[in-house]
Amino acid sequence: MIWLLLSGEPLFAREHLKVHVLAAEGPFKSGFVNALQAGDPDIRITPTSEQADLLVALGDDAFSRSARDDKPVLGVFVSRSLEDSLRRKGCHCAAIWAGVALNDQLAMLQLMMPVAAKVGVIIGSDSAWSEGTVKDYRGRLGLTLFKVADLSELGRVLREELDELDALVLPVDEELFGPDAAKLVLLTSYRLRRPVFGPEQSYVHAGSAASLFASGGDLVAETLVQLESFTSRKRFRRSGFVHTPSVIVNEHVANSFDMRFHDSEALRSALEVMP
């Protein structure tokens, strides 16, 4: 016992958590793995799922494939509908959902447009926000929910409803809000002079006013929190969006609408001091 104390080694060394990362090979996977190991030196990345204590699956495809392994699995940037489906099949899983929380995106909108009152929310069958999430909102904004099935219905809603709103906010939805939808949404927004917020970076680059989004660093940080929970409690935390998303502002659009904040740094600072 005295020898152990003198050796400087901890009496009860922390057990290493063996993790296998499921994802398409490429820069994002390698960057994610490197950041994960740098964030927690007790994590050991295994080359196969058989050697791992748990799996981390990046994206919907990897999350679906993970169901074949009889291991606990954390889905990262995956759709809520897919997690619901896998849970019904009995998976031991949790997820960091694609996108950001509705309340967070609306809080950003209010900072940018303090006088906004009527805000439209468009969702599809595979959107990051559910109908219940929108209906449960209890903030000061008046929300109008539009459920659409496809691009043609999206076009009709934009033509008939957007003029009656102060702004539009969109969730992450790879099926509904792809490149064709982006052109339709943003051109209609420009023509009717109604700003769009969300759903992520590419829309802001294309012409939406601003968006919160889950960056690679945000996803790594949230993953580390989940892995720490699994190590200490042998179970994951509840599924959800990233708690501290990143923010991006289209300076030209923000200026054209005379918004309160015109750049990402100023908006980020304002969001950090919100209660």
User: Residue 220 CB: number of other CB atoms within 10 A?
Assistant: 20
Report the candidate in 104, 101, 65 with the shortest Cα–Cα distance to residue 82. Answer: 65
Question: Which residue in the block uniquely carries the two structure tokens 């906004």?
Answer: 116
Q: What SS3 state is found at 117?
A: coil
Give mean pLDDT, residues 24-28.
Answer: 93
Q: What is the pLDDT of residue 11?
A: 42
- Torsion angle (degrees, nearest 10) of CA 80, 84, 89, 95: 50
pLDDT digits (tens, 9 = 90+) for 29-74: 999 999 999 999 999 999 999 999 999 999 999 999 998 888 999 9
d(CA 221, CA 117): 34
Average pLDDT, the chain: 91
Q: What is the pLDDT of residue 273?
A: 83
d(CA 225, CA 242): 10
Band of residue 7 on the pLDDT scale cut at 50, 70, 90: very low
Q: What is the pLDDT of residue 272?
A: 87
d(CA 159, CA 153): 10
> Is the pLDDT reported for residue 2 higher than 70?
no
pLDDT digits (tens, 9 = 90+) for 135-192: 999 999 999 999 999 999 999 999 999 999 999 999 999 889 998 999 999 999 999 9
d(CA 193, CA 170): 17
Give mean pLDDT, residues 257-262.
Answer: 92
Q: What is the pLDDT of residue 70?
A: 84
Strand order in the sheet with 54-58: 43-45, 17-22, 54-58, 73-78, 93-97
